[in-house]
Amino acid sequence: MKKAIDHLKSADAVMASIIERVGPYKIEYREPIFQTLVRSITYQQLHGKAAATIFGRLKDAARADPLTPESILKLRPARMRALGLSPQKMSYIRELARLTRKGEIDFARCVTLEDAAVIEHLTRVKGIGVWTVHMFLIFALRRPDVLPTGDLGVRAAIKKAYGLAELPKPAEMEKIAAAWRPYCSVASWYLWRSLENVGAM
6, 12, 145, 151: the active-site residue: 151
Task: Say whether 151 is catalytic.
Answer: yes
Contact 15, 180 (CB under 8 A): yes
d(Cα 76, Cα 19) in Å, to the nearest integer? 47
- The enclosing H or E element of 77 equals helix 77-82
d(Cα 185, Cα 163) in Å, to the nearest integer? 21
d(Cα 69, Cα 16) in Å, to the nearest integer? 43
How many alpha carbons fall within 13 Å on the CB side of residue 184? 22
The residues annotated as belonging to the active site are 151
